[in-house]
Amino acid sequence: MVEAAFLEHLRAIAPRLNALMDRFTEARVMVAGDLTLDEFLTGQVERLSREAPVLILRHEETRQIPGGGANAVYNLAKLGAQVKAVGLVGKDEQGAVLRRIFEAAGIDTGGILLDGDRPTVTKTRISGHARQSVTQQIVRVDRKSDAPADPDLQLALADYIRQHLNTVDAVVCSDYGDGVLSAPVIEAALQHSLCVVDTQIDLHRFAGATVFTPNLPEAEKAVGYGITGGDSRSTPSGNRLAQAGADLLRLTRAQHMLITRGEEGMSLFSQDGSQHHVPAFNRTDVFDVTGAGDTVVAALTLGLIVGATPVEAAILGNLAASIVVRQFGTATTSVAEMKAALRSLVEASK
């Protein structure tokens, strides 16, 4: 359960949060990121193959949804923002599918360039079930290249970002380590006054960004030591978590550092020395945390654009994430769902 004191605080600021969410449609965001297509193939197990000791599935359904940095793009669009996507896709069907999904959602794909040397990053999850049984993942097949993007493409992406900086209210860097966030691209993105960074590795590459949103393992890797030790319930003051927040701010020269801590909530550290802890809003109905970080970034960014304080923006990010973790696979939410979730929390405080 969420702490009673925080629920009371949430009840007091609920009208303000609702008003902020009503303005999400005003926000204009550019996302530079590693665009991924997530495929989910499901089928019913028929028998063992005679060719090899493997299952034979009768195909039932294939779902294709944005993943990786594309999930951040999609989350922003589903929350009502006007979004420009910047990244690379291959000259393949997966890249075409991703473009079609974006265009159907009203996302500007002018910044998505074709990479003839590398495939669209695609993660295919194959799952099966017997009759009247739960579907379970059997194997995942990844299509990607570890080769860096062509230098000309890197410069073209950076040039697109610079040309459109004045048309957006924020730039999000969604770095999954697949090569789009090269030095020229990062340099261009950092020229915006509101740059939000979600990266799995090497936070120092984005030094000077406004906000970083590492999860706990990413934060520990960046500072080089364990943050919470053996006590996962560590509070955000007087321990290594507070020290890590300060160290990360020095490392990145960021204005704010939001460390997401799963079921323990989020901890926000700022250059003015302030620290704030936001408890998890949903600890019991967590089915899949895949892509939840992208949802946090989306709601956080939109909050900052429309005038939320960093703490209010973190609360909005937490609220959005509490919804998508209830669903399997990468997922999105909406302002209507966020308002309903907030209403439920407020009612719990009465």
Buried-exposed string 6-26: b where 16+ CB fall within 10 A, e elsewhere: bbeebbebbeebeebbebbee
> Sign of the C-alpha dihedral, residues 102, 158, 209, 310?
negative
The helix/strand count (H/E) of the chain reads as 10, 13
Task: Identify whether the C-beta of residue 283 lies closer than 8 Å to the C-beta of residue 305.
Answer: no
Whether the per-residue pLDDT at 301 is higher than 90: the answer is yes
Mean pLDDT of 201-217: 95
Q: Does 294 qualify as catalytic in the annotation?
A: yes
Mean pLDDT of 16-43: 97
Whether the per-residue pLDDT at 234 is higher than 60: the answer is no
Task: Identify whether the C-beta of residue 252 lies closer than 8 Å to the C-beta of residue 209.
Answer: yes
Give percent above pLDDT 70 in the chain.
91
Q: How far is CA 198 from CA 118, 149, 229, 237, 335, in A?
A: 23, 20, 24, 24, 22
pLDDT value, residue 291: 59
Single-letter residue type at 32: A
Whether the per-residue pLDDT at 212 is higher than 50: the answer is yes
Give percent above pLDDT 90 in the chain.
77
Single-letter residue type at 282: N
Whether the per-residue pLDDT at 186 is higher than 90: the answer is yes
Q: Residue 59, Cβ neighbours under 10 Å: how many?
A: 11
Q: Which of 108, 175, 198, 294 is catalytic?
A: 294
pLDDT (tens digit per residue) in 239-289:
889 999 999 999 999 999 999 988 888 999 999 999 999 988 865 554 445
pLDDT value, residue 283: 55
DSSP secondary-structure letter at 176? -
pLDDT (tens digit per residue) in 105-140:
999 999 999 999 999 999 999 999 988 788 899 999
Give the integer Cα–Cα distance in Å for 75 and 67.
Answer: 10
Closest to 273 measured CA to CA, from 256, 294, 260, 253 = 256
